[in-house]
Amino acid sequence: MYPKVSKFYNELHTSLASCGVNGFKVDLGLGYGDKVYLFPGYHQDGVAFPSMCENSALTWRFLGGKPKLMFLKDSSPLDNSISIVQPESGLPIPSPNVDPSSSSFHIEHITSDMPSTSSQPAFVPTDMVIPEPITSDMPSLSSQLASVPTNMVTPAFRRLVSQRISLMAESSGFDPQLALSHKFPETTYTYTERDSVLYALGVGACARDAVDDDELKYVYHANGEQFLQVLPTFAALFSLASLPNGFNLPGLEYDQRLLLHGQQYIELYRPFPSSGCVHNKVSLAGLHDKGKAAIIEYETKSYEKESGQLLCMNRSTVFLRGAGGFSKSSQPYSYSNYQTDKASTVKIPKTHPFAVFEDSTQPSQALLYRLSGDYNPLHSDPMVAKTAGFSRPILHGLCTLGFAVRAIIKCICKGDPNLIKSITGRFLLHVYPGETLITEMWLDDLRVIYQAKVKERNRTVLSGYVDVHRLTSSL
């Protein structure tokens, strides 16, 4: 997505959704003169996934102050939708050379089945959306891309989309106090030794060396003579299982495809048994209005069910695009039930790292990690990944965190996972399975500041710190 217009694109699809247009294939492109060219992309239920391809274009024209939308509609479209497809295959139009006058296509009004906009904000008044034939004088998109600056969004289009539109949080009655008083259902999570082993393999244990004593203890023991050890980041699975209905809050409806997992914080109170049953209690730890987005922090405390002992605490920070704007005053709403730590302000030292660990992920890494419970198709389905703008499925952020903490255990804790006291990870960029992760570590008393980079792209994908109980004498 071109950076100067990407901020308008979310408002476009959200606004159309507010008019009742739930599924459409179109993506915001570049403004040029009195037109705005649109790239094909996939949208469903008001959620947009940019195709990031330079294929055929549609045009919004601004003539005499009235916008005219030129589009093609399938002969058997989704109800209440705009669809730009090839009727024979159902695929997006592949190039500007498709003949719109072909009998396979027809132009159809979209206003007849759109609900009245009198009761809700509307992007474009329905009586102003006028289909217009796509004529041969439409410029080639590829020729325009070479000469049009990405910041040339037309003033008319800017005015149309300048209104701030969230996921209708205010009009739907979203009340932060109601959210804060919400009682999440308590859940249980039962796991076996097999689950512990599968998780360890999912975050790369023994991938480099199948007989590495430091890591073999996570996946194998001889004849039951000793219990397997469990990696501390296994705690993140408790957090995932504690929210069976996702991150929903009363009055705040959103599509989880708009959710970004921004940060994970884990406190560890005792080693995990290799199998067991945990009891999870969830509360809302933070809620922040960021204008066009909301930041929500969920805290999960996990107890060993049999003994009642507290095992760990997870705090998951999620970023909901389009869900902000619910503050009742000019001061943005912000709530936290804990004292803000230094996680968000930790700076990576400019000195040479104390330790560096290089580890290769496998091409099938995401397929293996998903077996631990995160079945988001973004990490396994090539088509879903492409519609989300990635060339192929990406690695789970929590899997990347597992790789980084494994590196710290190996380099700083000398193979002892029980030295880990707490973990913070900020997810900065995606990782493709098969890429090489380089974890750099710096010591600051009993804190290990770290960052993980993708070697092939030289990009930082994860950063944070790990607090340890003590340092080993061999350091």
How far apart, in Å, are the Cα atoms of 236 and each of 229, 318, 362? 16, 14, 21
Question: Which tokens sit at 12?
Answer: 């476009």
Please state, in angstroms and rounded to a whole number, the distance separating the CA atoms of residues 68 and 35.
10
What is the rounded distance in angstroms from the CA atom of residue 379 to the CA atom of residue 394? 5
- Which residue's structure tokens are 């049999």? 306
Three-state DSSP at 207 gives: coil
Hey, is 141 helix, strand or coil? helix
Torsion sign over Cα 79, 82, 86, 89: negative
Helix, strand and coil in the chain, % to nearest 5:
20, 30, 50
Residues found in the chain: 475
Token pair for residue 431?
Answer: 């990782």
Cβ atoms within 10 Å, residue 224: 8
State the Cα–Cα distance between residues 320 and 167, nearest whole angstrom: 10
Q: In Å, how far are 12, 38, 376 from 1, measured between CA atoms?
A: 14, 11, 23
- Catalytically active residues are 374, 379, 394, 397
Closest CA to 176 of 247, 252, 256: 252
**Shortest CA distance to 6 belongs to which of 419, 459, 389?**
389
User: What spatial distance separates the first Cα and last Cα of the chain, rounded to whole Å?
Assistant: 46
Phi, psi (5° rounding) for residue 122?
A: -130, 145
Query: At 266, is the secondary structure helix, strand, or coil?
Result: strand
CA–CA distance, 288 with 263 (Å, rounded to integer) = 14
DSSP 3-state assignment of 84?
A: coil
Distances (CA, A) of 121 to 17, 125, 156, 280, 469: 10, 10, 18, 40, 54
Helix residue ranges per DSSP H, 98-246: 141-145, 155-161, 176-180, 193-202, 213-216, 235-241
